[in-house]
Amino acid sequence: MLELTLSELLNKPKATLANLRGTRRIVLRRRDDEDLVLTTAARAEQDLEVLGATSRMFVEMMRTPPGPHPGPGRAA
């Protein structure tokens, strides 16, 4: 993750956006407000897919009762 100031984006937009080729996201630091995160739409979509899959796995793990579980080829 690369950190730059919002002023850098405003003053040198092409150079700043070119940095997205080498990093997943750019954090734009602002003096008087909350920082912003800049990424590509494709990367944002990938992040959402991973988050969704991880959430579904976690929910299933929480539903599974603790204790030994039969493995492949073993009776329950």
pLDDT in tens, 59-70: 988 887 777 766
Q: What is the pTM of this model?
A: 0.64
Angle at Cα 23 formed by Cα 3 and Cα 31, nearest 5°?
Answer: 15
pLDDT at 56 over 80: yes
CA 56 distance to own-chain centroid: 16
CA distance 54 to 9: 33
pLDDT per residue over 7-38, tens digit each?
999 999 999 989 888 888 999 999 999 999 99
Which pLDDT band holds residue 5 (cuts at 50, 70, 90)?
A: very high
pLDDT at site 74: 60
